[in-house]
Each structure stands twice: as structure tokens, then as C-alpha cells.
Amino acid sequence: MSETSEFSAQNLFNVKGFVAVVTGGGTGIGLMATQSLAANGAKVYITGRRMEALENAAKEHQPASGEGQIIPIGPCDVTKKDDLLRLAEAVGEKEKCIHLLVCAAGISGPKAEPEHTDAESLRSRLWDNEDVNDWQNNYQTNVTAVYFTTVAFLPLLQAAMRPKGQLEPYTSSVVTISSMSGIMRHAQGHFSYNTAKGATVHLTKLMSAEFQKAGIRVNSIAPGYFPSEMTAKESDERQKSHVPHEKIQEKGHVPLERPGREIEMGMSVLYLTKNQYVNGEIIAVDGGVLNVLAGR
């Protein structure tokens, strides 16, 4: 039985002593996850293709107090198995285990709005504005890389498991970053991206069922519109992006009429990190978009 003091936010979201790895941790949702973990006591290794961005993110957003820490490591291209293996080995040389892996690296891919009702015009629009290689690159980054990143870290994730009989049993955690776009039927002009994110959703469910045998939980956050390089097309000198409320209001399908707040993403990451009773779930953090646009 839990005492009332155990229900304090400080206790519920405390990740002191945790070790995490975040891909795509230098910007956007990866950086939001990193900040929330480090602010609550975790040692967070961030990786990505751009070492300069990782180092700048660590410098600009290092916790002012506490034991949390942001450590850039890499560079790493998550679409390359050799890079992932080197990354896992590098982390393994520094840490006995990791408690959390956040797969936040991703790309948006080509955009072609299916705005025509005439079939010839529709075909021309989609055929001329999309390329097979773009589809393959999208899937490779948003799905295949998530799988191989997770597989690369399975031994370090399992090493964090605390078996029965040793205080409270503990299972390590993987959080994939999918998207509301992988749940809805509205293409948004992003057929390849939405298809890939739909695959990320199903991959998460597959891994959650198979990897629980090894004591590893796998869940996914399906974000709506959050400020990132993907949505804003750029980031500032602190690796942060900005999306004006007006841009979200123009879409007409976001009930809150604003982008998601960074701390709202941070809350979601901490919840999935700490709650041992959640496995195989896809949590949409979308401001209610899926109440307006058809899901599946």
C-alpha cells in the first residue's frame, strides 16, 4: 500500500539514477524528451547525425541543478547498422545498462496534396511530386531505423531489469515517437509519411509483445503539431523551433487552436518512463485532432 507522500509529482516522475539514450535528441521532440528526463535526474545521452547540434543542445539546456545530465554522443546515422552498433558499444563502455531508449529521429518526406477530383489531374499531381526513393527513405528512417535502434540496445535495456525478489521488480522501457498521422485517415498530403508512421505504430505493438519476454516495455507517443524542425522547417541558436498559433488555427482541425507545448511532451515521456504497468500503448498527444479527423 502506498502512503500519500508517494503520490507527490516529485516522486512519481523522479528518474534520478536513470540512464537514457535519445536519438534525434538535439532538436524538436527528442530535445523535449531529453530536457524532461535530465531535469528530473536522468543521465541522457543524445545522438544524431549533426554533432554540432547535439553539442549545442547539451550546452544550452544542461540542467542548472540536480544530478541530471545531457551528454552528446555520436554522430550516428540511425539508418546505418554499423553506426547503431558503434553507438550501443560506446554507451556500453560508459554505462552498465540503460533504463530508457527514446527513438525520436525521423523525417517528413515529400508532400503532394490530393486536391483534384479529376483522376487524370490527381494522378499527375501525385505522380510528378513524389518519388520512389523518397518513399523508401521515409520508411527506412521512420520504421526500419526504429527497429534496428531498439534491437541494438536490447542487451543494455535488459541489463537494467530488476528481477522479482529484489525490491520492486523493474522493467526497462522503449518509447518510439510515431505520429497522429499514423492513426488518421486524412493524408495531409503526406502519403509516404503517414504510411510510415502507421507502420511505426504497428512495429511498436509487435516489439511490445515480443520484447516483454526480455523484460522490456515498448510504447509510443503519437504527437500532433509540436514545434520542431519538421513542422517549423528550422531551429534557432538554442536548437529550438517555433510554430505560431495562427499556423495551427489555419488548419481548422485542432480544437485547442495551438501547437503542443514542450512541457506537455515532457509529461508524456516521463509517464511512459515510470509507469511499469503500461506496455504496447500508443498515446496520442494531439490536442484533440483525432476527435475531429477520422482515425482507424
108, 139, 172, 193: the catalytic one is 193
Respond yes or no: is residue 178 known to be catalytic: yes
Q: Please, what sign has the CA dihedral across residues 272, 83, 75, 178?
A: negative
CA separation, residue 131 to residues 109, 127, 141 (Å): 10, 8, 16
Side-chain half-sphere of 57: how many Cα atoms within 13 Å?
A: 33
Respond yes or no: is residue 225 known to be catalytic: no
108, 172, 173, 178: the catalytic one is 178
Rounded CA gap, 37 and 186, in Å?
33
Q: DSSP string of 182-199?
A: GT-S--TT-HHHHHHHHH
108, 179, 197, 240: the catalytic one is 197
Respond yes or no: is residue 213 known to be catalytic: no
**39's grid cell:** 531535469
Residue 99 phi, psi dihedral angles, 5° rounding: -95, -20
Q: Which residues are catalytic?
A: 178, 193, 197
